[in-house]
Amino acid sequence: MRSSTLLQTGLVAVLPFAAQAASGSGKSTRYWDCCKPSCSWSGKASVNRPVLACDANNNPLTDAGVKSGCDGGSAYTCANNSPWAVNDQLAYGFAATKLSGGTESSWCCACYALTFTSGPVAGKTMVVQSTSTGGDLGSNHFDINMPGGGVGLFDGCKRQFGGLPGAQYGGISSRSQCDSFPAALKAGCQWRFDWFQNADNPDFTFKQVQCPSELTSRTGCKRNDDSQFPAFTPPSGGGSSPSTPTNPPSGGGGGGGGSGCAADKYAQCGGTGWSGCTNCPSGSTCQAINDYYHQCV
């Protein structure tokens, strides 16, 4: 739904309000258009580096000037910009944003704690980092990145993957449709129907916070004023991370979890409370994303 920014801008000066924590009530939508994030261009904000973009095979690009796949280029949203569950009450992810009283220079790479107030996720919290902005977004609007959420105005997925299932706006309608997605996007697609409970554009309250390292380690982007915002305090009583289905062991045998079976590449392979497969397929290893979520990468 967000705009695919195709032009680089000059270096933006930090505005006086940039370090003033934004807060309020907002609305959400969802999308995954595969386009290069607009905050991946140089000069958008005072940051250590722009948001990482990836090539069609999800390899990070070192050149921030590579043209977007939505404009005939070879830069796309990295698959690890998909959302994931930390525990039953907390998730991390990324979003395109547009907030009242600010500009792109104050939004790019900033992080916000969203506490949902409607739908099946009411009471849950999601911390997102802003990786894109868009002129088509409303005020205090967060367009959450989630594979299968619909491409919106721009469709880089056709060029990157030959297209993804689902309607242009809203995307797919059932979890089983995630099975046909590229392996790197399956877990993020399933997250929508698991942790997010297929919530349809829930409302929320939000406040700007320091970015958790789990988010900045994926985008590579951290604002120079990040330390001036309040640190995020995770909600208590979240429980364990929801289970993610994995493949049964190859070569027959039982389908139980643990060390006897292998998870798909990019699927969960460990973490606090995890009882599923802990091995990874050849060519990938199980890496700790956080205490609750380890992933085959």
Residues noted as catalytic: 33
Residue 166 and residue 148 in contact, taking contact as beta carbons nearer than 8 Å = yes
DSSP 56-101: TTSPBPS-TTPPBGGGTSSBB--GGGS-EEEETTEEEEEEEEE-TT
Residue 21 and residue 207 in contact, taking contact as beta carbons nearer than 8 Å = yes
Whole-number Å distance between alpha carbons of 13 and 23: 22
Q: Which of 62, 37, 40 shows the shortest CA–CA distance to 221?
A: 40
Whole-number Å distance between alpha carbons of 240 and 157: 33
Residues 6+ apart with CB under 8 A from 217: none
